[in-house]
Amino acid sequence: MVRCGVVGRLIVIGVLVLASRGSGFAQAPAPGGAAGQPRIYANMLYVMRGILYPASNVIFTVQSDDPTSFKPAARPSTSSDPLTSVYGGWDAVGNAGFALAEAANLLIVPGRTCSNGRVAPVQNADWQMFVQEVRDAGMQVVKLAEKKDSDAILDTAQLVADSCLHCHNKYRNNARAGRC
Ligand code: HEC
């Protein structure tokens, strides 16, 4: 179960992974294909857990913690937290925005399945609209980071959270109708 929570004054606390740990299986690689063709290795669950989740958490974190307040990790070049890495501070925020905008492309590659084996309906107009929301939110984050605009963090984080929620409401949480 995934929730983009809202606490107090629009503080989005992130996407909590509450239940289905280990419930997904990696997707079998698509066969053959020229080297220049996109190939699918992960099902939707792992794209979410591996790419969208960590990137959006950077944005959710800086709602409450100034991005420049993070001390570099003991070994910043291998830090697993972008905010304490060599690309920390506002760079980490901008990079997370780019990561989300680019990750949106992975959500429309035809043939990716969800963990229940269903092929994601990437051709659906509303799926594409939700993906566009992720792109727009990601690039909004990039803009904010370029301007180091602390005042816009809450609103921008809300855009990101909404972009996740809108698709999850239809394609992740709804067991009977749209569940991918
Ligand atoms: C276009 C649709 C779509 C968008 C946009 C989307 N998701 Fe998802 N998400 C899904 C679907 C579908 C699943 C279920 C995947 C599966 O079961 O294989 C999922 C699952 C997840 C999971 C896995 C939870 C678990 O059970 O382990 C996480 C984490 C997640 N999404 C985070 C995000 C975040 C963060 C965003 C926004 C930045 C986002 N998602 C945007 C469709 C979407």
Q: Read off the pLDDT of residues 75-95 as tens digits, 9 standing for 90 and up.
A: 999 999 999 999 999 999 999
Predicted local confidence at residue 38, as pLDDT = 87
**Global pTM?**
0.87
Give residue 174's identity as a one-letter amino acid code.
N
CA distance 38 to 19: 31
For residue 158, the domain's CATH number is: 1.20.120
Predicted local confidence at residue 34, as pLDDT = 72
> Quick check: is 106 in a domain?
yes
Split at pLDDT 50, 70, 90, the class of 23 is: very low
How many domains, in total, are found in the chain?
1
> What is the four-CA torsion angle of 55, 102, 118, 33, rounded to 10 degrees?
-130
At residue 128, the 3 state secondary structure works out as: helix
Structure tokens that stand for 18 in this block:
């509450």
Which of 131, 137, 134 lies closest to 157, judged by CA?
137
Which of 18, 92, 87 lies closest to 59, judged by CA?
92
Distance of CA 178 to the CA centre of its chain: 20
The residue to mutate among 52, 112, 140, 173, having the most atoms of ligand 1 within 8 angstroms of its beta carbon, is 52
How far away, in angstroms, is 129 Cα from ligand 1 center? 15
Residue 127: give the domain boundaries.
Answer: 40-172
Any ligand 1 atom below 6 A from CB of 160: yes
How far away, in angstroms, is 138 Cα from ligand 1 center? 15
CA distance 171 to 163: 13
Predicted local confidence at residue 152, as pLDDT = 96
Residues ≥6 apart with Cβ < 8 Å to 123:
110
> Quick check: is 15 in a domain?
no
CA angle 127, 42, 178 (to 5 degrees): 30
Residue 37 confidence (pLDDT) above 70: yes
User: Which value, in Å, is the radius of gyration of the alpha carbons in the chain?
Assistant: 17
Nearest CA to ligand 1 atom 13: 172
Predicted local confidence at residue 1, as pLDDT = 38
Q: What is the pLDDT of residues 112-166, one digit of tens each?
A: 999 999 999 999 999 999 999 999 999 999 999 999 999 999 999 999 999 999 9
> Quick check: is 179 in a domain?
no
> Quick check: is 14 in a domain?
no
Split at pLDDT 50, 70, 90, the class of 18 is: very low
Split at pLDDT 50, 70, 90, the class of 173 is: confident
> Quick check: is 63 in a domain?
yes
Predicted local confidence at residue 70, as pLDDT = 98
Predicted local confidence at residue 7, as pLDDT = 39
Contact 163, 172 (CB under 8 A): no
Report long-range pairs for 36-41 (Cβ below 8 Å, ≥24 apart). 38/109, 40/109, 40/111, 40/112
Predicted local confidence at residue 15, as pLDDT = 52
> Quick check: is 89 in a domain?
yes
Any ligand 1 atom below 6 A from CB of 47: no
Query: Looking at ligand 1, which atom is closest to the CA of residue 2?
Result: 24
What pairs with residue 3 in β-bridges?
Answer: 16
Split at pLDDT 50, 70, 90, the class of 33 is: low
> Quick check: is 18 in a domain?
no
> Quick check: is 49 in a domain?
yes
